[in-house]
């Protein structure tokens, strides 16, 4: 069987092996996907090994930036994001891609009624996940994007000294005040996850009931932020579609086949929901 991995630390709770092995099975492809605990200090030796033994792998925290120095080629979107989550091994050459942000956008198909270009988007947060989504939205030609973050300077850093005409930056309090203006709100911070599972990053008082509120977290399956949005009659989505679509796009890179995301959703919802 061809070998595939997800590497990171910690890695014990990763749902990627369950999902990818289901896809290898249902597509009758001889592949085995495993989770391997790898820290930054072991990455170099693992890469030497993987180069000759592994067909492809996913990369998660804390290795998404660190991995880049070991790759032979990195695609332009992954370069703009500054992180790689998917590696393809072609005859000993390692190609890096980032499927997180495009995966996020594809996952919106569950809830989006209009083309994504029509949405007025608010991204909450300015970490790695926000960066992947922002640059993927721009890559897809989306305009009307605003970023808000507890630390305003970090939101500005996302723009890399350019993009000032394309992307707005707002303080959290301004975003709260003008929240009714946004049709798609994307929560990318760790607020809502343990140990901050009872907090939200932003007050939803002025939320439009026509808005879609999306949170990248899926454990807890429904964050307090999503519960509050639901109480205000907004459409909500958790992070599971993003997780499934980033994986599906990686699977497609490795095998040429785009796998069944609906079955994967049912499988993972049963395990996590």
Residue nearest ligand ATR, CB atom distance = 127
Residues in the chain: 273
Q: Which of 120, 154, 181, 222 binds ligand ATR (CB under 6 A)?
A: 154
271 given a catalytic annotation? no
Q: Closer to ligand ATR by CB, 3 or 196: give it.
A: 196
Stretch of 30-38, 110-118, 124-132, 245-253 contacting ligand ATR, by CB under 6 A = 124-132
* Nearest-approach distance from CB 172 to ligand ATR, in angstroms: 8
Q: Is 183 annotated as a binding residue?
A: no
Q: Is 171 annotated as a binding residue?
A: no
- CA 121-190-69 angle, 5° bins: 90
128 binds ligand ATR (CB under 6 A): yes
Q: Is 4 annotated as a binding residue?
A: no
Stretch of 143-151, 163-171, 173-181, 244-252 contacting ligand ATR, by CB under 6 A = 143-151
Spot the catalytic one: 64, 97, 113, 143. 64
Total number of residues that touch ligand ATR (CB under 6 A): 16
196 binds ligand ATR (CB under 6 A): yes
Q: Is 126 annotated as a binding residue?
A: yes
- CA 22-28-33 angle, 5° bins: 45
201 binds ligand ATR (CB under 6 A): yes
Stretch of 28-36, 69-77, 91-99, 146-154 contacting ligand ATR, by CB under 6 A = 146-154
Please give, one letter per residue, the 3-state secondary structure of the chain. Answer: CEEEEEEECCCCCCCHHHHHHHHHHHCCCCEEEEEEECCHHHHHHHHHHHHHHCCEEEECCCCCCHHHHHCCEECHHHHHHCCCCEEEEECCEEEEECCHHHHHHHHHHHCCCCCHHHCCEEEECCCHHHHHHHHHHHHCCCCCEEEECCCHHHHHHCCCCCCCCCEEEECHHHHHHCHHHCCEEEECCCECECCCCCCCCCCCCCCCCCCEEEECCCCCCCCHHHHHHHHCCCEEECCHHHHHHHHHHHHHHHHCCCCCHHHHHHHHHHHHC
Residues within window 91-110 making contact with ligand ATR, judged by CB under 6 A: none
149 binds ligand ATR (CB under 6 A): yes
Q: Which residues are annotated as a binding site for shikimate?
A: 14-16, 60, 85, 100, 218, 246
Q: Which residues are annotated as a binding site for NADP(+)?
A: 125-129, 149-154, 216, 239
Interface contacts to ligand ATR, rule CB under 6 A: 125-130, 149-151, 154, 188-191, 196, 201
């Amino acid at each position: 069987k061809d070998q595939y991995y997800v590497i990171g630390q910690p890695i014990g709770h990763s749902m990627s092996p369950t999902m990818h092995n289901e896809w290898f099975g249902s597509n009758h492809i001889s592949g085995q996907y495993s989770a391997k605990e790898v820290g930054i200090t072991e990455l170099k030796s693992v890469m030497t090994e993987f180069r000759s033994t592994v067909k492809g792998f996913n990369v998660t925290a804390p290795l998404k930036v660190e991995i880049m120095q070991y790759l032979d080629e990195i695609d332009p979107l992954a370069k703009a994001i500054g992180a790689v989550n998917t590696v393809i091994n072609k005859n000993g050459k390692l190609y890096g891609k980032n499927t997180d942000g495009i995966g996020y956008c594809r996952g919106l198909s569950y809830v989006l009624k209009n083309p994504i270009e029509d949405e007025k988007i608010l991204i909450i947060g300015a970490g790695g996940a926000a960066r992947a989504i922002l640059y993927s939205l721009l890559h897809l030609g989306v305009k009307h994007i605003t970023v808000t973050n507890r630390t305003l300077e970090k939101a500005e850093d996302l723009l890399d000294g350019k993009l000032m005409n394309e992307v707005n930056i707002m303080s959290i309090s301004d975003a709260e005040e003008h929240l009714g203006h946004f049709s798609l709100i994307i929560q990318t911070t760790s607020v809502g996850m343990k140990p901050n599972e009872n907090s939200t990053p932003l007050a939803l008082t002025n939320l439009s009931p026509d808005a879609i509120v999306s949170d990248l977290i899926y454990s807890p399956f429904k964050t307090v932020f999503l519960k509050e949005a639901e109480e205000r009659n907004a459409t909500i989505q958790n992070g599971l579609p993003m997780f499934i679509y980033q994986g599906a796009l990686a699977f497609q890179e490795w095998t040429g086949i785009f796998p069944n995301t609906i079955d994967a959703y049912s499988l993972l919802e049963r395990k996590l929901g």
